[in-house]
Structure 1
Amino acid sequence: MALYWLLCPSIYLFSYNIAQTVQEEVEYECVDIYKQPSFQHPLMKDHQIQMRPSVEFQAMLLKEYPEILNLSTNYKSKERCPEGKVPIHRPQINYTNNFMIHPEKAIAETNLHYAIIKQFENATKKWRGVGAQAVFDIYKPRVLSNQFTKAWIWLNHRENDVISSIQFGWAVHTGLYPDDRPRLTTYFVSDRQKNGCYNTLCRGGFVQVHKTIYPGMVYDKVSVLGKRQYSVHLLVGQDSRTKNWLLMTRTTLIGYWPHQIYSAQGPTQAYFGGYAGGLTGDISPAMGAGNFVIQAGFRKNYSCFMKQLKLFYGNKLEDIDSNAFGEYVDSPNCYDVWFRKFEVGNGELLTFGGPGGACGFP
């Protein structure tokens, strides 16, 4: 089951051969906020755009966790679009056709690997939450054409045959983007969008509201092993008033998945960590900082990390219960993960990564 959730956002992009060069042309277009792709879905006909978190949601963040205000940013502050318009990432390939391969048909056709922490199936404290957050260390792992590598959070829910998942973090993804730079990346799948959707690439998906920060945006500052580290705070939570699922950095709203499209009652599983893959038979790409965590231990600046791992419990954002999470690596000859329980200043923290290589299948 864990592999199913990990497969969803990646299968269909491998068949495109995209050069790994930095594109000089502008990769976004300024679109009327009411004419962005999400509003082309009939369920969004009467949707009212949410321009900021509700007072209750914002107050909860500031009151309970004032340290969020001090978390790092990693984006250029120059406003990209005029009033009434928002930046929408412009893909380099045609996404108008239904190109999604169903994950169950593709398990034997792909080369996908993960190094994550995941809640135990038999945990005594069952979680049905409304979001999660982390501070992501940003690296630029080496990938080839038709490969991806991610630092990622999964918020998963399954009820009978209905599968829903919101996923977010940074990704180097040469099937989705025209180069090998790390970018803010999101994905979701639901009963009303069964094929799944990256960023703003489908009708009835993510609603963009910020004029500077957007899915597909490049993180221009990246960490270097043993030297300066750059990180970014990302959070997804359901606004108790509007029921929309908000994507935020610190207390800034980037956009959201509208409740008309993403109507799940709340995730029941959360994963944190790394995910990488490519075509069957290929050498698998690097993950994280490209080194085995066990070699670096927890020495500062020597492995890719995610820290301040938190989940929403009701209307509170709390550190994850470390006793309810375990480490999972499907290809230990290529990747590893190390979960370090609460550390002052970092909260719950994990490091992950690996050089990739000839990893084989789970």
Structure 2
Amino acid sequence: MEKVGFMLLLAMTLCCATMANSVSRKSMNREASENEDDIDRRLRLLNKPAVKSIQSADGDIIDCVDMHKQPAFDHPAMKNHVIQMKPSIELPLENKATKSEPSKPVISQTWQKSGSCPKGTIPIRRIQRQDLLRASSLEQFGKMYQPQDHVANSTLNENVRNLVINGTKVSLPYTQDRSQAVLLTAGFSYIGASGDINLWNPNLDLPDDFTTAQIWLLGGPGDKYESVEAGWMVNPKLYGDKQSRLFTHWTVDGSKATGCFDLTCSGFVQTSTDVALGSALGPMSSESAQYQISVGLFLDPHSTNWWLRLTNNLVLGYFPGSLFFYLKQKAIMVNWGGQVYSTMVKKSPHTRTAMGSGEYSEAFHGRACYIKNVRIVDYSLSLKYPEMVQVYNDEVYCYNGNNHRDTPVDEPVFYFGGPGQNNFCK
């Protein structure tokens, strides 16, 4: 009897354990299923129904999406928005025919070799499941990364650089985990800026690092600035590879909670069928040949939209004025240059992620990254070189900038970049 009782007790214990394990597995499976459901929902939200899809040779899928169904219209502020198909003013142009331009303008993207999108649609790089899985969270996908202690640390005065430009005191926004080498101007009302940026493919070190060459216009106070930005970027966490890609970015709170890259959230309204944001650019520059893209951002004073214009006067689309408060009227600062994001900038050991070509600015033409034909636009609606500019470097031994003239009569060209960690940058 004792043996039978023991066996019965053992059977009941095993049965309970099996049931507990079964419940546990079901709970885990349910949680996994819910996560999968969340991912599927986000993919459906991000990837709009395609009229046509194009398989690019580099692995990207480009969806041709009805212009009126693009992600921008998911934003509450865009509920009744009517697409502005072109600016209400003629965007300012500059005649570069008389200038010596040894660099070849380029706005070639790999996917364009495999097809084109029909009229009335825009090309959107499809977001894949693995893209979402690389993000720290679904909510963080496509956003400028912000460390959790950003808000607490961003109030430290020793991290703020104050400059005086054009008689105006400028407090540069705090950039934790970002290192910049920029040419900047401030002190006036800016309603546009442009420049020609040569293309490189810099080395990336850590999985979460990214590096950019860009133009950005800023408005608003300190760390809660508003900005519109565009240029090229290498960002494996976002794009899944180390190719140099065309990007845009916007924010209305210093990237604390708002804004995103490209079309990964509602914001930028694309009107062109020819170019896909987030798609790879080429060919890359080398010592023997320089290739560049032209980037310009311009405020339409009537609609308050910020228009993006690229090489060959291709108007890609706009950041709607309804997103902004300060930038609805003007920008108060313009930056040209590069930035590196890494948790290991301003620390030791420093990241080996490079900026620009990976060469310091002193390498100059043929080896260093540059922005030439630096221009601003004020209410005269004409392109002009800024009245006064200043170079700012966060980490001069890691990345630096140099506004260089070949001769006293030549217009300056802004060279910038660096290798990151080396004998001087620890």
TM-score normalised by L of structure 1: 0.79
2:351 to 275, 283, 286: 283
Task: Judge conservation of contact 1:31–1:88 (CA < 8 Å) in 2.
Answer: yes
Q: Residue 298 of structure 2 corresponds to which residue in structure 1? A: 237
Do residues 67 (structure 1) and 96 (structure 2) align? yes
Q: Within 2, Cα distance between the matches of 1:317 and 1:284?
A: 40
Q: Within 1, Cα distance between the matches of 2:78 and 2:189?
A: 27
Give 1:272 shift.
1.0
Q: Residue 235 of structure 2 corresponds to which residue in structure 1? A: 173
Q: Residue 196 of structure 2 corresponds to which residue in structure 1? A: 135
Q: Residue 217 of structure 1 corresponds to which residue in structure 2? A: 279
Q: Within 1, Cα distance between the matches of 2:189 and 2:219?
A: 9
Alignment of 1:343-362 (within 5 A): 347-357=411-421
Q: Deviations over 1:67-119 (max 9, x none)?
A: 38998232146663223221122334237843264743576996421111223
Q: Deviations over 1:233-285 (max 9, x none)?
A: 11000123322110011422101111222342211011111111323356231
Q: Residue 68 of structure 2 corresponds to which residue in structure 1? A: 34
Task: Judge conservation of contact 2:191–2:299 (CA < 8 Å) in 1.
Answer: yes
CA 160–32 in structure 1, closer or farther in 2 if over 3 Å, else same = same
Alignment of 1:184-199 (within 5 A): 184-190=246-252, 194-199=257-262
CA 74–192 in structure 1, closer or farther in 2 if over 3 Å, else same = closer
CA 192–157 in structure 1, closer or farther in 2 if over 3 Å, else same = closer
CA 38–230 in structure 1, closer or farther in 2 if over 3 Å, else same = same
Give 1:210 shift.
1.1
Q: Residue 104 of structure 1 corresponds to which residue in structure 2? A: 151
Alpha-carbon RMSD across the aligned residues, in angstroms, is 3.3
**Greater strand share, 1 or 2?**
1
Q: Within 1, Cα distance between the matches of 2:423 and 2:180?
A: 11
Do residues 254 (structure 1) and 290 (structure 2) align? no
Aligned partner of residue 73 in structure 2, secondary structure: helix
Q: Residue 90 of structure 1 corresponds to which residue in structure 2? A: 126
Q: Within 1, Cα distance between the matches of 2:277 and 2:241?
A: 15
Task: Judge conservation of contact 1:293–1:353 (CA < 8 Å) in 2.
Answer: yes
Do residues 332 (structure 1) and 332 (structure 2) align? no
Task: Judge conservation of contact 2:223–2:253 (CA < 8 Å) in 1.
Answer: no
Q: Within 2, Cα distance between the matches of 1:110 and 1:358?
A: 21
Amino acid at match of 2:188: W
Task: Judge conservation of contact 2:192–2:298 (CA < 8 Å) in 1.
Answer: yes
Q: Within 2, Cα distance between the matches of 1:146 and 1:360?
A: 23
Task: Judge conservation of contact 1:147–1:285 (CA < 8 Å) in 2.
Answer: yes
Task: Judge conservation of contact 1:139–1:182 (CA < 8 Å) in 2.
Answer: yes
Aligned partner of residue 96 in structure 2, secondary structure: helix
Q: Which deviates the most, 92-101 or 128-137?
A: 92-101
Q: Within 1, Cα distance between the matches of 2:57 and 2:409?
A: 38
Q: Deviations over 1:119-162 (max 9, x none)?
A: 36xxxxx2111110000011000113221111111211114885
Q: Residue 32 of structure 2 corresponds to which residue in structure 1? A: none
Q: Residue 301 of structure 1 corresponds to which residue in structure 2? A: 366
Q: Within 2, Cα distance between the matches of 1:162 and 1:338?
A: 28
Amino acid at match of 1:197: C
Q: Residue 181 of structure 2 corresponds to which residue in structure 1? A: 115
Q: Which deviates the most, 151-160 or 214-223?
A: 151-160
Give 1:168 shift.
1.2
Larger Rg: 2
Q: Within 1, Cα distance between the matches of 2:67 and 2:263?
A: 12
Task: Judge conservation of contact 1:340–1:350 (CA < 8 Å) in 2.
Answer: yes
Q: Percent identity?
A: 26
TM-score normalised by L of structure 2: 0.68
Q: Residue 182 of structure 1 corresponds to which residue in structure 2? A: 244
Aligned partner of residue 43 in structure 1, secondary structure: helix
Segments of structure 2 that go 5 or more residues without pairing to the other structure are 1-55, 160-174
Q: Within 2, Cα distance between the matches of 1:261 and 1:155?
A: 15
Segments of structure 1 that go 5 or more residues without pairing to the other structure are 1-21, 121-125
Q: Within 1, Cα distance between the matches of 2:268 and 2:408?
A: 35
Aligned partner of residue 260 in structure 1, secondary structure: helix
Give 1:359 shift.
9.7
Amino acid at match of 2:108: Y
Q: Which has the higher contact order (CA 8 A, sep 6+)?
A: 1
Give 1:318 shift.
3.0
Give 1:44 shift.
1.4
Q: Deviations over 1:31-51 (max 9, x none)?
A: 211111101122212212122
Q: Which deviates the most, 92-101 or 161-170?
A: 92-101
Q: Residue 49 of structure 2 corresponds to which residue in structure 1? A: none
Q: Within 2, Cα distance between the matches of 1:211 and 1:241?
A: 24
The alignment covers a number of residue pairs equal to 325
Aligned partner of residue 351 in structure 2, secondary structure: coil
Q: Residue 86 of structure 2 corresponds to which residue in structure 1? A: 52
Q: Within 2, Cα distance between the matches of 1:137 and 1:152?
A: 10
CA 346–261 in structure 1, closer or farther in 2 if over 3 Å, else same = farther
**Greater helix share, 1 or 2?**
2
Q: Deviations over 1:325-350 (max 9, x none)?
A: 21111212212211125979984420
